[in-house]
Amino acid sequence: MTAEAPAGLPIALDAVGGDHGAPPNVEGAVLAARAGVSVLLVGERVALHAELGRYPGSSALPLEVVDAPDVIGMDEHASDVRGRTEASINVCTRLVKEGRAAAAVSMGHSGATMASALLTLGRIKGVERPAILTHLPARGGMTTLLDVGANADVKASYLAQWARLATVYLKVLEGREEPTVGLLSIGEEDHKGSALVLEAHALLRGLHGHGINFHGNVEGRDIFLGTTDIVVTDGFTGNVVLKLAEGEAKVLFGWVRDALKSSLKSKMGGLLVRGALRGLAERMDPSTYGASILVGVRGLAFIGHGSADAQAVKNALLRADRAYQGRLVPRLEAAFGD
Amino acid sequence: MTAEAPAGLPIALDAVGGDHGAPPNVEGAVLAARAGVSVLLVGERVALHAELGRYPGSSALPLEVVDAPDVIGMDEHASDVRGRTEASINVCTRLVKEGRAAAAVSMGHSGATMASALLTLGRIKGVERPAILTHLPARGGMTTLLDVGANADVKASYLAQWARLATVYLKVLEGREEPTVGLLSIGEEDHKGSALVLEAHALLRGLHGHGINFHGNVEGRDIFLGTTDIVVTDGFTGNVVLKLAEGEAKVLFGWVRDALKSSLKSKMGGLLVRGALRGLAERMDPSTYGASILVGVRGLAFIGHGSADAQAVKNALLRADRAYQGRLVPRLEAAFGD
């Protein structure tokens, strides 16, 4: 690190992970460093220095390259992280474990990032399974959703723990005092849902006022309506929800674009409304939040889209730094230490 | 029925069911009758005759009122159908059972409609659990999704049976020869998913070429992309998907409308594109298909939105008539009789 590095630890970025390799990662790191966040670029040293060379003045920024000759490819198995000690994601999580980095951030293989974080960092005491927490745009702001894919088969106790983790997360990252928690079900009534949901409902009801603000059951429509701040569900349903939401937005905006080209009249109108609709598309853009967090591990680990651009990488790094500055992990440990 | 009634049996409509009671049901029945479908209007006789009186010339249409003094309210329990023999939905399903009506159609209490159909009509031999089948708009047309709420907890064998039911349904109703079937999961790879999905995948793989055209696993995004004609999933995930899809479309179109009012320039453009966007909103409108079908029972039962308008009621009646004319139930029975 250079002398200008800000106080605290740098963020370890898996700088070769993702669909596009080093370029968006390095550009994102440069943007984050200019915004005051120090970053360790983890990956093949020569390639990363070459990429950094494209940014004049980057040598004065709080950026450092950490060599990692290996990388887990997007088409490899998550279990391949075992034994691949020099793989970039494993180097990132080890830097966190050893107290040399504040957080690990990767736009690479999601399953591998999750496995590496879990194997290297372990779980927070009292948390049976870590979950992936993400954000979806909603009326009035955003909805925080978990688990979106770490656990396809779950127990009711996991859902209750995730509600507690997400509550602390929103307090630290968004300054929300008493975020509301909804349990995803197929009816608002307490007695509706699967056997799992009925059991989780009873657990969450018991935690209401003790670490969480339980609203009750919510339905699929409530996610976009923003009925509750947090929605908890199993990792199967959550992953389907996330991918459906992204897919639907993409298809609907495509249809809006097509409609605006359907006649000369609508084409003329389309030119006038283009700016307004662009703002809306940005609101729907997953890069706004940059990455999802793996909550429940003993350390900070962020997982982004493989297709992330430099802006998404920058936002993920800033978010990771905020979680670190807000002492998220110690506060999660304290919440489960009672 | 009047002398002008078309060949075959009339459709029994629960004419007092739904959020708005008789008016949209009676208007929808009038529209369907004008299109050549004969309808039995089931409900409180005096009220229905009064409502029919608002349509001059309706006495010449193939419409008949069948008295049913009782109705299951939208806020009652589904189990209330037991013993309420004079409730409109029970009269409808009994008319089907007795061979006096071709199908039962209700915009009333979904759970009660399902329970009434199952209790009165029974299951097709070989089908363990009936499922609710619906349609979602998709790139290139529509995606057929089931189960969307009849069964929150399922076995893998149900999913395999639903794939077969939906395949026959699409052949009969849409003339699709070899509709493709996707199994909803959290990754396209065969080995990804919950324990339930892995087991269902093996069953569906075994049925490929024997009554279904199995594509493999699909993800949430594939529903709007239209990757497969049919998507099978448990009734919990399916219900979340359906309500999320409807909720997201509503919120996104609301944002588009807001964006078009955000400045004088976009307001002017908004006037020019209004017609094109209205066509798009209609495409997303659930009333296009009118109602979902409960497949797997020994008779035709259609379940619509409580908020259905006359157009949705009309479309549901036309769809029910098409299923009857296409001999859907005998063909489903034949498919399971092999």
pLDDT digits (tens, 9 = 90+) for B89-114: 999 999 999 999 999 999 999 899 99
pLDDT band for position B274 (50/70/90)? confident
**Cβ of residue B279 closer than 8 Å to a chain A Cβ:** yes
Residue of A221, A241, A305 best to disrupt the B interface, most CBs of B under 10 A: A221
Residue of A240, A241, A268, A283 best to disrupt the B interface, most CBs of B under 10 A: A240
Distance CA A331, CA A131 (A): 17
Q: How many CB pairs under 8 A join A and B?
A: 202
B86 & B184 share domain: no
Cα angle A144-A146-A148, degrees, rounded to a multiple of 5: 115
- Tracing tokens 């929808």 back to the chain, one arrives at B28
Total domain count for chain B? Answer: 2
Instruction: Give pLDDT tens digits for A188-226.
Output: 888 889 999 999 999 999 999 998 999 999 999 999 999
B235: chain A residues, CB-CB within 8 Å? 186
Q: Which two tokens stand for residue A54?
A: 């494209």
Q: Is the pLDDT of residue B309 over 80?
A: yes
Nearest chain A residue to B272 by CA: give it: A269
**Cβ of residue B260 closer than 8 Å to a chain A Cβ:** yes
Q: Stretch B197-223: mean pLDDT, rounded?
A: 96
Instruction: Give pLDDT tens digits for A304-327.
Output: 988 899 999 999 999 999 999 999
B219 & B104 share domain: no
In this predicted structure, what is the pLDDT of residue A286?
64
Residue of higher predicted confidence among A270 and B9: B9
In this predicted structure, what is the pLDDT of residue A268?
86
B4 & B119 share domain: yes
B window 121-180, beta carbon within 8 A of A = 138-139, 149, 152-153
Residue of B243, B257, B268, B284 best to disrupt the A interface, most CBs of A under 10 A: B243
A277: chain B residues, CB-CB within 8 Å? 256, 259
Distance CA A153, CA A151 (A): 6
**In chain A, where do the E strands start and end?**
11-14, 39-43, 63-67, 103-106, 131-138, 141-146, 180-184, 213-218, 230-232, 292-295, 300-303
**Cβ of residue B272 closer than 8 Å to a chain A Cβ:** yes
B window 90-119, beta carbon within 8 A of A = none
Helices B310-325/B22-34 angle, 10° precision: 50
What element of type H or E holds B300? strand B300-303
Average pLDDT, chain B: 92
CA of B293 to nearest chain A CA: how many angstroms apart? 18
Q: Which two tokens stand for residue A29?
A: 């790191």
Q: Which of A113-117, A141-145, B40-44, B76-80 is the least confident region?
A: B76-80
Distance CA B68, CA B61 (A): 21
Q: Is the pLDDT of residue A55 over 60?
A: yes
Q: Which of B236, B246, B259 sits opposite A279 (nearest CB)?
A: B259
A267 & A144 share domain: yes
3-class SS of residue A33: helix
What residue type is A108 in one-letter code?
Answer: G
Nearest chain B residue to A284 by CA: give it: B252
pLDDT band for position B338 (50/70/90)? low
The domain boundary residue, chosen from B287, B304, B327: B287
In this predicted structure, what is the pLDDT of residue B61?
96
Q: Stretch B257-273: mean pLDDT, rounded?
A: 85
Q: Is the pLDDT of residue A3 over 70?
A: no
Percent of chain B predicted with pLDDT > 90? 76
CA of B66 to nearest chain A CA: how many angstroms apart? 32
A152: chain B residues, CB-CB within 8 Å? 186, 192-195, 197
A247 & A272 share domain: yes
Question: Under a CB-based contact definition with an 8 Å cutoff, are residues B124 and B297 in contact?
Answer: yes
B window 297-336, beta carbon within 8 A of A = none
B142 & B263 share domain: yes
Q: Strand pairing partners for A70?
A: A87
A305 & A172 share domain: no
Residue B333, classified by CB atoms within 10 Å of its CB into exposed (0-12), middle (13-18) or buried (19+), is middle
In this predicted structure, what is the pLDDT of residue B2?
39
B265: chain A residues, CB-CB within 8 Å? 272-273, 275
Residue of higher predicted confidence among B112 and A140: B112
DSSP letters, B159-188, are HHHHHHHHHHHHHHHH--SS-EEEEE-SSS
Distance CA B38, CA A16 (A): 67
A186 & A240 share domain: yes
In this predicted structure, what is the pLDDT of residue A290?
72
Question: For the domain that residue B244 is a member of, what is the CATH number?
Answer: 3.40.718.10
Q: Is the pLDDT of residue B3 over 70?
A: no
In this predicted structure, what is the pLDDT of residue B286?
64
B40 & B70 share domain: yes
Distance CA B72, CA B110 (A): 10
Q: Stretch B24-30: mean pLDDT, rounded?
A: 97
Q: Stretch B189-204: mean pLDDT, rounded?
A: 93
In this predicted structure, what is the pLDDT of residue A1?
38
In this predicted structure, what is the pLDDT of residue B8?
87
Q: Report the Cα A38 to chain-centroid distance in Å.
A: 19
**Cβ of residue A280 closer than 8 Å to a chain B Cβ:** yes
B173 & B310 share domain: no
Judge: B240–A241 Cβ closer than 8 Å, yes or no.
yes
In this predicted structure, what is the pLDDT of residue B5?
39
What are the angstrom distances between the C-alpha of B29 and each of A9, B70, B172, B310? 70, 20, 23, 8
Q: What is the ipTM of this complex?
A: 0.91
Q: Which two tokens stand for residue B209?
A: 């070429």
Q: Which two tokens stand for residue B245?
A: 């899809």
Q: Stretch B306-326: mean pLDDT, rounded?
A: 94
**Residue spans of alpha helices (H) in chain B:** 22-34, 45-52, 88-97, 110-121, 156-174, 195-207, 220-225, 235-259, 264-284, 310-325, 328-337
Q: Stretch B280-303: mean pLDDT, rounded?
A: 85
pLDDT band for position B84 (50/70/90)? very high
Per-residue burial over B291-310, b = 16 or more CB atoms within 10 Å of its CB, e = otherwise: bbbbbbbbbbbbbbbeebbb
Domain of B11, in residue numbers: 1-127+296-338
Distance CA A98, CA A96 (A): 5
Q: Stretch A164-185: mean pLDDT, rounded?
A: 96
A window 209-238, beta carbon within 8 A of B = 219-225, 233, 235-237
Q: Which of A186, A256, A270 sits opposite B149 (nearest CB)?
A: A186
Instruction: Give pLDDT tens digits for B110-153.
Output: 899 999 999 999 999 999 999 999 999 999 889 999 999 999 99
B193 & B146 share domain: yes
Distance CA A206, CA A204 (A): 5
B138 & B283 share domain: yes
Q: Name the residue among A71, A82, A63 with its Cα closest to residue A17.
A: A71
Q: Is the pLDDT of residue A5 over 90?
A: no
CA of A231 to nearest chain B CA: how many angstroms apart? 12
B76: chain A residues, CB-CB within 8 Å? none
Q: Which two tokens stand for residue B270?
A: 């908004």
A window 175-214, beta carbon within 8 A of B = 184-186, 192-195, 197
Q: Which of A194, A259, A265 sits opposite B277 (nearest CB)?
A: A259
- Long-range contacts of range B277-286, CB-CB < 8 Å, 24 or more positions apart? B277/A256, B277/A259, B279/A259, B279/A262, B280/A255, B280/A256, B280/A259, B281/B253, B283/A255, B283/B137, B284/A252, B284/B137, B284/B249, B284/B253, B286/B246, B286/B312
